[in-house]
Amino acid sequence: MTSTLVIYTTKYGTTETYAKQIATVLKADLKEIANVEAHDLIFYDTVIFGAPLYLGKPYHYEKVLDVIRLYPPHLFLTFLVGASHPTEEELKLIKHLLPVQDDHLFYFPGRLDYQTLTLKDKFLMQGLKLWIKGHAKKTADEEGILESFKHPVDLSQESYTQPLINFVNENALN
């Protein structure tokens, strides 16, 4: 058994893809949050949790925190996946919401395919679309979101995981 566990939750698959890439490179165990019990963490010094951002918050973050509080690992890292590249202000807001050290939080851009969204998410995206269209000057990410209504947008890249992997290699117990 390894001393690193990658836990993830996913909504449309990008977070799972990143979690598998990280687990493979680190030779870590991989589990979906639904399959994790608190006592599972006894065997791990490093725990990495990946979640998509959903409505501006990490999806199922409280669930993993409940588990981590019982058996805190030596090193706990979080990676979040969003539909675009975040601004510094957005990252600040996210970091403020989470009880995690700044250097223990990583953000990876993901994919957005309007056609695969649930009805609820399509409705939310329509609201976002109206809000973005109201901007006189749109950012590149806003333009990308508007493009996702016409065709899928994929910003994910395996190379985004490298800073997290480097951090684990430099800070995990040997």
- CA-based nearest residue to 87, from 76, 95, 98, 78: 95
CA 47 and chain centroid, separation: 14
Residue 88: pLDDT band with limits 50, 70, 90: confident
Q: What's the pTM value of the predicted model, to 2 decimals?
A: 0.82
* Cβ atoms 81, 18 nearer than 8 A: yes
Which H or E element spans position 10? none
Q: Name the residue type at position 39.
A: H
Q: Is 167 exposed, middle or buried (0-12, 13-18, 19+ CB in 10 A)?
A: middle
**For position 105, what pLDDT does the model report?**
84
SS3 31: strand
User: pLDDT tens across 40-58, in order?
Assistant: 888 899 999 999 887 667 7
Question: What tokens does 123 get?
Answer: 């409705």
